[in-house]
A and B are shown apart, each in its own frame.
Chain A
Amino acid sequence: MELGTTRTTRTATASPGKKIAEKGLSLFGKLILLGYAVGTLYPLYWLFISAFKTNEDFFNNPYALPKEWKIDNIFRAWDLGDMGRGMLNSTFVTLTSVILTLVLGLLAGYVLSRFQFRFKKIVVSLFLAGLMIPIHSTLVPLFLMMKEVGLLDTYGALILPYTAFELPIAIFLSMGYMASIPKEIEEAAMIDGNGWWGIFGRIIFPLCTPIIATITILAFLRFWNDFSFALVFINTQALKTLPLSLALFSDGFGTDYALTMGAMAIAVIPTIVVYLILQDQIMKGMVAGSIKG
């Protein structure tokens, strides 16, 4: 399914009926919508104001602005939760998995969109089935398999399954996109003496920038926020990703609410900043991915 994204012309040439419908969004309607939006954002606002309070302040006035803005929680959370380590681990695991997903996914997508070969149908339906598989039903067997080969509790225990589970979406998104690239471009490149690898590396890959952006966004959010795989496959403190260091706060510092809020603020800021900068692409990308999924 294609997303209608460049339909701005429509609103410009709105029909009379359309105008009535738009006037229908009265001040009252707008107020309700505004209330809904504020309600949606309120938990985040609460998180941020609480992160700058002392525990005493938090208990006495949980919903007021801080009496005194204190940054201690942020620093304490950073140290106690070893969040610098968590952030490094998350960054490394996410980056490596995203790159692997892109390279393997686009290569496979290119082969499946351009070449005919004997087992093609089986390969495509295998990947298609991958879109339907509930991820948690593989936790137990993956745990056992990786235990057997000593992969458990390594970066590979996250990078390899992350990539494997993201491949179907990457492959189908890139197949769909590559179908729109005219074959003549490749024929011309072939005449110029390029092999398939050269064509893929020099021509197809650069032409795929928009779909690469979509795949990257989807993969980044999925890997960066993943909790279940990290929970089951990682045990060593030094390898814990950000969501795991956060979960630790709910158990270990259960009653130090301001501290936990500080930890959450640290974890949430990078994603929110990325979201504010790239929100249109993120919305489009996540929707494209979920529809394909």
Chain B
Amino acid sequence: MPTAVRSKGFIALALLPALILFVVFVIVPIIWSAYYGFFEWKGIGATKFIGLDNYREILQDHIFWRALKNNMILIVSAIVGQVPIALILAIVLLKNSFFSRFVRSAVFMPMVLSTVVVGLIWGYIYNPQFGLVNTILEAVGLESWSRAWLSDVKVNMFAITIPINWSNIGPYMIIFIAALQNISPEIDDAANIDGAQKGKKLFYVTLPMIWSTVVVTLVLCISGSLKAFDHVMVMTHGGPAQSTELLATYMYNNTFRVYRYGYGSAVSTIIMIISALLIGINYILTRKKAD
């Protein structure tokens, strides 16, 4: 059968370039880093097999735990900061009026900016001398609250969450608007006829209807927060005194600043495992609730 032969040739030629590129640049590196995690290697010269020593050292390094905690702060801030605000905005901006379209496109705008620009401009907003935050505090007589927001170890991690939330509320809002538009009008009407109050309607009608979307946004919050790197790299480099270190910056600093490639590989593998675990846990938890 010539056509069968021809389809086989087509399948191979059309699929293989994508498959090879993907495997070589995405899958192989993961296996590679799992493997190099067992070695001590400075990037040049001999590699030395050291078994689980890298992993042991990581787990005993309190900076690693701080980085993990900081990533958790980002996840919590995304879940309690981005998702509810996005949901509220979606509910009030559902209508396609000129006004809601304007607000929507303003809220979405930061998302298209480069993370470097976001990091730099917020670095200036937090600047202790001329920054907007301190200027406002002084203007309303709260001078005592003003501080160097990105250097003060008590608040800097929380200060970093704000620009990240600023960028990410827009897409979640649009996701929710799409989901809300898919709720059938009859259900909405039925709830209104039954005299459901707005708050009750939100919790007993609207939220359950879009629950699968809420789950998607929660997964996005987790995976997005674990990916965080750029903002911190630009604003603080993980400092001062490694107080704003994230898993990704911890990996970067250990690999490309002090050239411990084996150690960095082990950290990479741990990031993979943590994100798989978190996404798995979230999947199990939210599936139960949906039933």
Contact A141 B175 (CB under 8 A): no
Interface residues of B in 10-30 (CB under 8 A from A): 10-11, 14-15, 17-19, 21-30
> In the complex the two chains form, what is the Cα distance from A44 to B124 in whole Å?
12
Q: Which residues of B contact A140 (CB under 8 A)?
A: 33, 36, 251, 255, 261, 264-265, 267-268
> From residue 234 to 255 of chain B, which have CB atoms closer than 8 A to chain A?
234, 247-248, 251-252, 255
- Residues on B with C-beta less than 8 A from A30 are 99
Minimal Cβ-Cβ distance residue in A for B107? A40
A92 within 8 A of B: no
B178 close to A (CB within 8 Å): yes
Most buried by B among A4, A135, A140, A224: A140
Interface residues of B: mostly helix, strand, loop or mixed?
A: helix
Q: How far is the CA of A42 from the CA of B261 in the complex (A)?
A: 42
- Is A121 among interface residues, defined by CB-CB distance under 8 A? no
B121, CB-defined interface residue at 8 Å: yes
* A-side contacts of B7, CB under 8 Å: 115, 196
Q: How far is the CA of A110 from the CA of B18 in the complex (A)?
A: 12
Contacts of A127 in B (CB 8 A): 22
With A and B bound together, what is the CA distance between A24 and B113 in angstroms? 33
Quote the shortest CB–CB distance from A67 to chain B (angstroms).
Answer: 16
Q: Is the CB of B30 within 8 A of A137?
A: yes
Point out the residues of chain B lying under 8 angstroms from A247, CB to CB: 116, 234
Size band of the interface chain A makes with B: 35 or more
- A147 to chain B: closest residue by CB: B43
28 contacts across the A-B interface (CB closer than 8 A) = A7-B182, A11-B95, A16-B192, A17-B192, A18-B189, A20-B192, A25-B95, A36-B103, A37-B107, A40-B109, A43-B121, A44-B109, A107-B17, A115-B11, A126-B27, A140-B36, A140-B251, A142-B29, A195-B6, A225-B115, A227-B115, A227-B230, A247-B234, A257-B130, A267-B116, A268-B117, A275-B109, A283-B104
User: Which residues of chain A have a CB within 8 Å of any CB of chain B?
Assistant: 1, 3-5, 7-8, 10-11, 13, 15-18, 20-22, 24-25, 29-30, 33-34, 36-38, 40-44, 46-47, 58-59, 62-63, 104-105, 107-108, 110-112, 115, 117, 123, 126-127, 129-130, 132-145, 147, 160-161, 163-165, 167-168, 171, 195-197, 200, 221, 224-225, 227-228, 231-232, 242-243, 246-247, 249-250, 257, 260, 264, 267-268, 271-272, 274-275, 279, 282-284, 286-287, 290-291, 293
